[in-house]
Structure 1
Amino acid sequence: MKLRTIATMVFLPMFCTAQISQIDLAPVVEKAVKTQNVVFDCSSADKKYVASRLRLIDMSIKEYVANGTPYNVVVTIHSGCTDIVSKKIADDDKMMKNVYKKLEIVSKHENVSIEACQIAVDRFGIEHNELHPFISLVPNSITRVISLQNDGYAFIPFSK
């Protein structure tokens, strides 16, 4: 009996090692983080609402950055929201100044494009030299949003 115990103690580690060495260990593969693509579509004339949505966009981008999540953000501006693209703001218009400040904050993030609809800008009589420097013009916000959605961008409207 003692001989069997001694033999087991001597040979067992060799068998275990042989078994372990034959196991195919798959390499550890890190899962790639998918780029988050989103278009925020602003058509609202309610400036308080627009300011609140711009704040949420800023917070969302900060969350992506903190988590190391790659992202692309497009903000499209048209319809009742169009006047926010103009630098012409009355000195006493605190709400428009607040909207401008929030737009500027969002514009400073990487991978963000703020785009105004050329049709709406022209309809509202906003001169191109009046646009905030971080605003780019697109020929038509509708076709731009369609294109972005077809490219897999999530659609988030501000239409209150």
Structure 2
Amino acid sequence: MIKQLILYLLPALFLFVVATTHAEYAPSKAVYDVTSSDPLDLTNILDRVSLLQNLYGNNSFDSKIVIVIHEGTIPIFAKTKAEYSGLMQRAKSLTFGEIIEFRLCITSAKLQGYTANDFHEFVAMVPMADAEIIMLQNNGYAYLR
């Protein structure tokens, strides 16, 4: 009986400890380099970005998260790709807190046959992903993939 009670309560105790134990992180700046053509990879990035935004308390004065989109991720952000509309709604919703921005490499897009008008309005166009990432890192952004 006691053994069963322990086995029953142990997972609940573990979840309680995990839920109530957290480190304090000061708001900061991060740039995510996103290149994968797999929508599941983008979903995982959006999950991580959302968690980081919440961890920073949606503090737009001291934190900023920029997602730089290029290479294989470009087509996912095209307006004509209806199969990704739910993913794009989620991405757009992350921009409402003013901490998260999406920036898309127009050079990479043009090489794939797209123009700036082919993408959702919440995505900013930048001339070159690599140069954008370097500029952000020079301005104190931590690099994440």
Same fold per superposition (TM over 0.5): yes
Encode CA deviations 1:38-79: one digit per residue, 9 max, x unaligned.
001101111111112112211210221168982011110001
- Match for residue 148 of structure 1? 136
Unaligned 5+ residue runs, structure 2? 1-24
Aligned partner of 2:7 in structure 1 is none
Tell me if 1:97 matches 2:89.
Answer: no
Residues of 2 paired with 1:84 and 1:109: CA distance? 22
C-alpha contact (below 8 Å) 2:64/2:99 kept by paired residues: yes
Aligned residue pairs, count: 121
Percent of aligned positions that are identical = 24
TM-score by length of 1: 0.68
Higher mean C-alpha deviation, range 37-46 or range 121-130: 121-130
Kindly indicate whether the alpha-carbon contact (under 8 Å) linking 1:58 and 1:105 is maintained by their aligned counterparts in 2: no
Letter in 2 for 1:116: L
The CA distance in 1 between the partners of 2:100 and 2:34, in whole Å, is 15
Could you tell me which residue of structure 1 aligns to residue 72 of structure 2? Answer: 80
Structure 1, gaps ≥5 residues long: 1-32
Please give the TM-score of this superposition, normalised by the length of structure 2.
Answer: 0.74
